[in-house]
Amino acid sequence: LIVGDDGLVVWERGEHVEHGRQYRERIRAISDLPIRAVIYSHSHYTLGTSALIEGETDVAIIGHPRLNENMRLGAVGTVFPELEPLQRARAVQHAQALLPAAGDDAQYGFV
């Protein structure tokens, strides 16, 4: 989250609508400034946006020019199957899949 003088820029917003709701709740605990922009780092973090920006106006959505095409391609390893093992390992790490569900080292944001 980037807090500006007159609004917020949100980097990521979750894989699902419920994640978007959770992000919005946490953001609103920090600031009541309007959300001015949402940045998509990659295609599978787009689905929480509708819940995140509900009630907001004039929100800029910033993403890769081929975002829609990338979303249509879908799953890990779709384009270059030989990279699938590396992509899958990165996905497991990114999703914190091997961390405990509770405690000091618990997952954050994917539970």
Give the position of tokens 């879908």.
74
Q: In what order do the strands lie in the sheet with 2-3?
A: 2-3, 8-11, 35-39, 60-62
pLDDT in tens, 20-44: 899 999 999 999 999 999 998 776 6
Mean pLDDT of successive 10-residue stretches along the chain, which has 111 residues: 95 81 93 94 74 94 77 59 72 75 74 48
pTM of whole model > 0.75?
no
* φ and ψ of 61, to 5 deg: -105, 120
Residue 13: predicted pLDDT: 75
